[in-house]
Structure 1
């Protein structure tokens, strides 16, 4: 049996494995080189589009609101107020005593403005009790001959704005003429065409058309 001393032979499977690794690395390098050449350089990244600025947004248009009509305190036209002061039925009640507060305040302010304009406003008759109004109406019926004719000048208590506390008979006529022009600013209107002295608080800045007479 022949033996060899000093040399140890390398087993063949290990040599084949080493050679296989070398071949695999070479093939991988060749493959990477081929793929890079086929694809070429990397494409440039798309740049963000810059939108051109449009025209500036229009500013909101500010408009001046139309002036609102003055707010008036309401007047009660469907009931007779309870008198706050007891006076003789035949007496002329002074000033705005016993009138509805809103009406009394409106006439007081209107008369103050008339005085500032150089006038001397006077109240000939304002609030009347129902009993006193009935006396006046009965006299008018006797004078004019009928209820219908009397109603052109004096109304029964249930229909009288004096009894309900929002009417004033003014004097002199210059004051009445001033109220016809300026009274609506205070909610005051002349209501009858045949009575230049008779004004009522109607709580409106637009006076309605005048009635021919108190009877309508």
Structure 2
């Protein structure tokens, strides 16, 4: 009798073990166990990784923007747009002083003969226009006047208002004018503004003065 009970108990134990092994096998076949472990490891690794730094903020001086002329439509060049790059203007320079306007006309003719197109993205500005530009820069730089003046001058200091400055675009055209080294009466004046040129009659004979770091 005792032997029979023992055999029954042993059989029951074997059945439990077989059932347990079957459950483990199913878990292994489905990948549920390893998948949970992998997910946990991935989650821990993600928490351990430092967050990515925010992208650097680059401030673009207002005078250096490449805003398209109003009315610009894709595939078309509107009146007043630079013919070689419609993202820039080519403004009328008749508001300059007569000597500067003549020198600009001569520079454009010389450039054309070399296969280069000079566009006057900005030329003569009124006091109100220059003040608006300066006020925008002042707001952009948190009211710091000295910092704002590194990018846009107030009306009293601007040669755009005086009719003796032009912002040349596109950049390759400005680089060509810079290489003339003042021979055409125009010189780049600021290291942080490769587009900004100023006129002086003496540049043709004396060459360009050293660049200033900023206005």
TM-score by length of structure 1 reads 0.55
Corresponding residue number in structure 2 for 1:210: 211
Matches of residues 71-90 of structure 1 in structure 2 within 5 Å?
Answer: none
Matches of residues 1-216 of structure 1 in structure 2 within 5 Å?
Answer: 94-145=91-142, 146-203=144-201, 204-205=203-204, 206-214=207-215
- Structure 1 segments, 4+ long, off by >4 Å, are none
Q: Per the alignment, do residues 93 and 114 of structure 1 end up closer, same or farther by CA in structure 2, a change over 3 Å counting? A: closer
* Structure 2: gaps spanning 5 or more residues: 1-88
Higher helix proportion: 2
Residues in 2 aligned to 1:110 and 1:183: alpha-carbon distance in whole angstroms: 12
Measured after TM superposition, the shift of residue 94 of structure 1 is 2.8
TM-score by length of structure 2 reads 0.55
1:60-83 deviations in Å (ceiling 9; x for gaps): xxxxxxxxxxxxxxxxxxxxxxxx
Count of residues in Structure 1 that have an aligned counterpart in Structure 2:
123
Which protein, 1 or 2, shows the higher relative CO under an 8 Å CA cutoff with sep ≥ 6?
Answer: 1
Query: Cα RMSD (Å) of the superposition?
Result: 1.5
Larger radius of gyration: 1
Residues in 2 aligned to 1:201 and 1:119: alpha-carbon distance in whole angstroms: 20
* Structure 1: gaps spanning 5 or more residues: 1-91
Residues in 2 aligned to 1:111 and 1:123: alpha-carbon distance in whole angstroms: 10
